[in-house]
Each structure stands twice: as structure tokens, then as C-alpha cells.
Structure 1
């Protein structure tokens, strides 16, 4: 932002009668050839105000580099009747009115959308943490497939937590945006790294299922190493490239205001995500084909897919379109800010994006048959500890009573 301000100052100072940040009425007063008073051209730190006749009002477009300002609106500055710019009664310094630059209705709407994001991420984070606890607590669930679920959930949990921090500490704090310190830029980079890792671990889920059903004779240890490299390593390469491009670019908007502005290098992030989703979809199509062939062949031909594998395939098939839905609807975003469907798009985008973690938790954990079985077994063991047990005396008394009141057996004589 400093570079933009310097450029605007340079353009403004090309005029010989410009006054920079003048606070003295004597310096601010100018007189024309006809004896009329004028407020001279002045730069207030954001905008250049033209020479204005005494008693008039100068107007200029709102600066587009200030977050929250609408550049289509006009700011104004009052020139007093004595040829001096209006001074604020509290500060006693010349004051420009930028309050009209903020669309209060649009600001309130964006706050509501932000609340949807925060609520969705918070609920998803709670569900994912609960799922992680379940996977880690039950040792009988530990296998390569659950290992994939755990890493996928870790990436989702971290990403959701970072999004909440981003909205609370950056988006809702104009001072943080204007300061543009290194910390908020690192938060932006970390956020996009874990966002990418979500989709790469989703790719690992589909790839592992494909290997499990198509190439059954694969070393688990070697496979795990490649999965870890893909899930955590490839996103790091992509994010390093994305960061390097933004830092080395000469456009000041690329590295201003905590990198909150839409970047022309977003394709570096979008392309790998789309490729991973396309690859996962290809894997799942082949998995479905293999399953159909095995099921048609009957139970006597080959071992056939296990019920847990079938359930994992169903969950992945349901989850994949959900994770890719956000990117599928992005090209259809209305460009005009006055489009009647823009608000509908923003709400749907907020819901689909922020509640992804909740859907992942339900499909891979809460609706997982193995998990449900383990929880029921643990619950039954817990309940059985509190059930009253009959003592040996009570049991003997009960048997004696039943025997004494029963009908005599053949050969016996009832007394």
C-alpha cells in the first residue's frame, strides 16, 4: 500500500500549487486572479483533492486500495468560506470525509457470510477432533486405511483452525491488514498449504483403494512412504512455488494487506487440486468397474472385496464430488456486484466450503461400520460393569423355591 500512496502523491505533486498535509489555515488559503478565495490542491495521504472555490465541496473517487472501500463511491472534502479546508473539531486538522466510501449494507452482509464460514469451520473442527480421538483410542482400528483417514483429518482440522484464525485475526482487523506484517502473510501461506493437503490426502484415499482392489500384492511399508510424500510433500512444493511467484512479482497488490487480494497466481493452487480430483475420480471409476466384475463373477471366483473395502469405496464416492463442488461452481460466480444471484452463490459457497470437514467426519468415521461396532462393544462393556449380579445365596434360594413348587417328576411323590 505504501508504494500505491507514493505513486498517488507523485501524481498529485505534479501540480505547482499542491499543499501536502497542510494543517495551517494560512498556508491552505489561495486567492484567484479575480480576488476569489480558493482552497488549494492538497494531498491528504490517500487522495489528491483539486483546487476548490471557497464554500464548495470537492469530490473524488474512493481509493481502491483500502480494504472495505467501494471505489465506485465518492469521498468529499469541504472548503470553508474563508478559503481553508474543513478541520475536524476533535483533532483540529484538515479532514476528508471517507465515511461514504463504506457500503454499510454490503458490509453487514459480508459479516453475515463470515459468520457462516466461522460457524461451519467450528462445527467441522469439533467433529474432526472427535473422529481423531475415536481412531486413536481404539487400537483395533489401526491399519493403513485408518492411517489415511487420520492424516486426512489432521489436514482438515488444521486447515479449519487456520481459517477461523484468518477470519478473526486478519479479515475482521483493518489495522492488521494495513500493517501487513510477516505473521499474517505466513498465516495465509500455511492456510493454503493445509488446504492443498486436504485434496492430496483425498487423492491418497482413492489411490490406496485402487491399489487395494486392483494390485493386491503391494508392500504396505513402501506404499505408506509414497502416500506420506504425496499427502504432505507435494502440497509443500506447490505452495513454495505459489509464494515465490507472489513475492517476486512487481505488482504491489500481490504482497499487500496480508495477501488478502485475489492473486493472478491462484492457478498454481487450483490446477493441482483439479488434477488430484480428476485422478481420484478416474481411480474410483476403475474401482467400481473392478467391483462389478468381481461381484458378477460370484463368491467362488477370487477372494472378492471385503465389506469394509466396499464401505470405504461408497464413502469415497460420496465425498469426492462434495470436495470438488466448490471448484466446480467457482467459474459460475456472478461477476457483477449487483447480480441477483450473487448472494445465493456466496451463501452456498460458504456452506459447501466450511462444512466439508463435518461431511468427512460422518462418511469416514461416524457412519463407519467398524467404528460403530467398536463403540457398541465398548459401551456394552461399560454398562455390564454396573449391572447387579445375583449372589450364590440368592441363586440357591431361587432354585430351591422353584423346585419345591414344581410338579413331582415321575416316580416321585409330592409331600
Structure 2
């Protein structure tokens, strides 16, 4: 081994003391952070061109000034001195004064401290295993540059919560429930999995060096695992709503009920639900799931992902509008008993054209340079009201109509001795018809800020209620519809011989007696 070793590679070094190891690993922590431009006051001084160099017994940092193309290796990297300078001499310490904020400085210092603790731990484990398991082949305990890994059995996968250094690129420390896991594979031969890296990332011809592989990919995307679980629950229920809505449409069409205005409104409402479920499922799979699995980055802002976001938002608007059409029609039939039926064209205009008129200015504003990013998945703050106003109006108007319908129903049922219970039962049935369940997710619940169990339960309830709308509405309008039941019974009688039906009826009578 040569006397001078470039510490950014994983060349084996026999450190003579704990302090030597700490200085060297601390210098590597500093070099790793050089790839985060926001961490530094002057990135012409601290950058990936600089190199931590190991001389026997000392560590030096070679700063490379990009503008002057000049390297200066005169700075000794001493962890003890860096810690001592924290209280009074930060501005005079060549390494500490480069940091832009205490957040990045503390990440660096924590990395140095963790390396020192890890070395002590490794020495203790090695001594213990030499006695208890002297001949057992295992992956050795390891400090990988960011975090400490215990020795592991062959053919196992080790997981640990992502270290602070992996969050440097984020610029903040995620909450505990948001943090992801780093992964390291112990191979069957008792060695850690490896990867090959370029000696110089800017020069493909510079050659490669072998480095032990720790998978930190998910660390830069906090909340991914739990959001993926929530997304999968939503997808399952959305698929159920999609199937039930399709069945509802097929039943109404097969029995030729579509000439009735009431059924036409139902069919269009089902169509809006089908569109919403379809485009939301596509959005969840092609954008969200791909983002969570690191197969796609919304920062690419491709045309197809923006188009899919537009179609999903448009379909949701149609859902709100046809929900209001359902409420308005039901209100008209119950409250204004003898009123003439309104022409279907008004329902169609509001259900399909109104969302289109809202989406046109929304798309124009979102196309502006300041908002044209992240596949349009992030709200635009105040301009987002262009899209939000219509759903809020639909929910508010339907709430007013529902209250009036309940009032009229209770008045009509007063002659019944159980009028209050009957009115309450009717109200509960009408809640999903008027879309009052939408009030549960007008404000999106974010459980990752507090990490409380209650907030996660609320998030799952919110997700289930939103995705279950198609199933609930189809059940009320179709599966529990008396006319549909009559049509199905007539079909059954045509298929099954009359004698069989009579025998079945006779058996039912005998059982009841």
C-alpha cells in the first residue's frame, strides 16, 4: 500500500488508533456532503473535486478551487480540533466556516460522532465473536461512510432507518414515521454486496473502483413506504367501485331503463364514477406507484403525466357535478311534487360542460412557467381555487338540498308513530346520494406531520370513504332498487321453469310454518 491513499475510495487502511479512524471517516463525511450545493457558502471551494487524503497518522483535505483549478492540501483534518472549535472558533475553522447553516453542520458532526461510536462497537463485537463464533462465516461489522452495520449471517438482508446524512439533499430532517429504510445485502459467501463506481464521475475513462453497496435510494423520498400502503388500499377499493358501477350501468341498459330521466341521471353519474375510478387508478399506478418505486420522477414533468393529471381532475369535477344533479333531481321530486320535469339538456350541460369550462382556465394557468412542474400534482396555492370552487359549491348546495329534503320527509312522516326513526333512516340513506361524505376529505389529512395513530386512522378512513363512493351509490340506486328487483325476478322466471319456481315457493311456505 502506498503512503498516500485517496479516502474517497474503499482501499483498505490499517488505522493505528480510534482517533485516526475517526479523522478519516469524518473527512469522508465532509466529502460526501460536498455534493449538496445548498450546504455551502461557496461551492467553488467545497465541491466534489476536493479529496480527503490519508497520510500515515494524519488526514488532510485537498481543496480544489474550480475557478483557479488549483489544489491546496495543507489543511489537516482533525475531528478533536473541529469539536473544540465549535464553541468559539467556528469562523476561524477552515472546515466549519464553509457551512451555510447549522442544519448541515450538525449532520456532518453527527456523521463523525456515529463513525467513532461505530468503531468502538465494531471492536467490541469482533472481540466477542472471536470467542463465541470463531469459525462462523459472517459479513463483518461495517461503517459504510454514513451509518454502522452489525455483522450479519450469510444470505440475509439488513435494514436500518436512514441516517441523517442521507437527508442532506432534502434540506430538512423528516419526522420519525416519515423516515425510510436503508438496505444492505449479505451474500451467501459471507461478504457484503458490492458495486463498481467511477474514479472520476466527470471522466468515463478514469477507471472503476469496487465499493460495498448500501441501498439508500428510498432515503431521499421520505413517507414512501406508508404512502404506498395507503395508495394500495385506495386502488383495491377503487377497482371495486369501478366493477360495481359497470354492473349498474349494464343492468340499467339491459332492462332498457335509460328512457327515464331519473335513470339517465343515474347512468351519467355512474359514467362519471367510472371515469374517476379509471383515471385515478391509472394516475396511482403510472405516477404514484412509479414514483414510490423509483421508476419515475415527477420532476421530469412529461406531457403524458400532465395529460393524465388533467383527465383525472376533469373526471373528478364531473363526479361532483353529477352528484349535484342527483341531489337536485331528488329534491325536485320530493319537495316540489307537482313540478314539471326539467329538460335533460340542463343536467347534461352542468354535468359535462361545466367541468370543461373550469378546466380550460385551470390548464392555462397551470401552463405558466412558475406552475408548470411536477406533472401538475402539487397545488398552486391561490390559483388552485379555479379548480376548488366548483366542488365546494356542489358540496355546499347538496348539503342545503339534503337538509330541506330531510325537513320535508319528517313533516310527511309525522303521521307515523315512528316518524323520527323513519326520517333518520331516510337521512342516512340520502347522505351518500347527496355526496355529504365528501366533507370528510375537503381538507386532506396529513398524518406524517404528527405521526399520531389517530391521524393515520383518519387518513385511512378518508381514503376508504373517497374510493368507496361508486360502490355505495350503485348499491343505493341499482342493487337496492325495487324496479331492478322486479326485472331480475321476471328474468329468473323466464330462465327457470315455472314448476321449479312453484316447488321452491312451496318449500319456503313449509319452512315458514
The bucket for the TM-score relative to the shorter chain is 0.5 to 0.7
1:63 and 2:63 equivalent?
no
Choose between structure 1 and 2: higher helix proportion.
1
Looking at structure 2, the residues matched to 172 and 140 of structure 1 have their Cα atoms a distance apart, in angstroms, of 39
The Cα of 1:178 is off from its aligned counterpart by: 3.9
Q: Specify whether residues 158 and 312 from structure 1 end up closer, same or farther in structure 2 by C-alpha distance, changes over 3 A only.
A: farther
Q: Is 1:89 the equivalent of 2:196?
A: yes
Name stretches of at least 5 consecutive residues in structure 1 with no aligned partner.
Answer: 1-7, 42-46, 75-86, 299-310, 389-415
Relative to structure 1, the CA distance from residue 141 to residue 244 in structure 2 (aligned partners, 3 Å threshold; closer, same or farther) is: closer
Higher relative contact order (CA 8 A, sep 6+): 1
- Partner residue in 1 for 2:45: 17
The structure-2 alpha-carbon separation of the partners of 1:385 and 1:338, relative to structure 1 and needing over 3 Å to count, comes to same
1:319 matched to 2:426? The reply is no
The equivalent of 1:353 in structure 2 is 466
Q: TM-score, normalised by structure 2?
A: 0.55
Q: Deviations over 1:78-102 (max 9, x none)?
A: xxxxxxxxx9634444599881762
Q: Distance in 2 between matches of 1:69 and 1:90?
A: 32
- Pairing 1:268–2:374 present: no
Matched, 1:31 2:138: no
Deviates most, 210-219 or 229-238: 210-219
Quick check: 1:162 aligned with 2:162? no
Structure 1 length-normalised TM: 0.67
Partners of 1:359 and 1:240 in 2: how far apart? 31
Task: Indicate conservation of the 8 Å contact 1:152/1:202, yes or no.
Answer: yes
Counterpart residue number, 1:84: none
Picking from 240, 254, 276, the partner of 1:123 is: 240
Question: Aligned-pair distance for 1:373?
Answer: 1.1
CA deviations 1:23-72 (Å, max 9, x no partner) are 9x999694244577999x9xxxxx9x99xx9x997958433499x999x9
Corresponding residue for 2:486?
Answer: 373
1:65 and 1:149 map into 2 onto residues whose CA distance is 50
The size of the alignment, in residue pairs, is: 348
Provide the rounded CA distance (Å) in 2 between the counterparts of 1:313 and 1:339.
Answer: 33
Contact 2:276 / 2:315 at 8 angstroms: preserved in 1?
yes
**Residues 298-318 of structure 1: per-residue CA shift (max 9 Å, x gap):** 9xxxxxxxxxxxx99874344
Q: What's the Cα RMSD here?
A: 4.9
Q: CA deviation at 1:372?
A: 1.1
1:150 pairs, out of 257, 261, 267, with 267
Is the Cα contact below 8 Å between 2:279 and 2:308 reproduced in 1? yes
Q: Return 5+ residue gaps in structure 2 as ranges.
A: 1-35, 54-61, 65-69, 79-93, 99-103, 117-144, 147-164, 181-193, 202-210, 417-424, 502-513
State which of 362, 365, 371 in structure 2 corresponds to 1:245: 365
The residue aligned with 1:223 is 343
Q: Which has the higher mean CA deviation after the structures are superposed, 258-267 or 363-372?
A: 258-267
Change (3 A) 1:223 1:141: closer
TM superposition shift of 1:128 = 0.5
Tell me how far apart the structure 2 counterparts of residues 112 and 234 of structure 1 sit (CA, whole Å): 35
Aligned-partner SS, 2:496: helix
Equivalent residues in 2 for 1:277-356, closer than 5 Å: 277-293=395-411, 315-320=429-434, 322-327=436-441, 330=443, 333-334=446-447, 336-356=449-469
- Deviations along 1:308-346, whole A, 9 cap, x unmatched? xxx998743443355324335x36655724233232122
- Judging changes above 3 Å, is the alpha-carbon distance between structure 1 residues 296 and 238 closer, same or farther for their aligned structure 2 residues? same
For the residue of structure 1 that corresponds to 2:241, the secondary structure is: helix
CA contact under 8 A between 2:321 and 2:351: conserved in structure 1? yes
Q: SS at 1:139's partner residue?
A: coil
Distance 2:379 2:168 in 1: 20
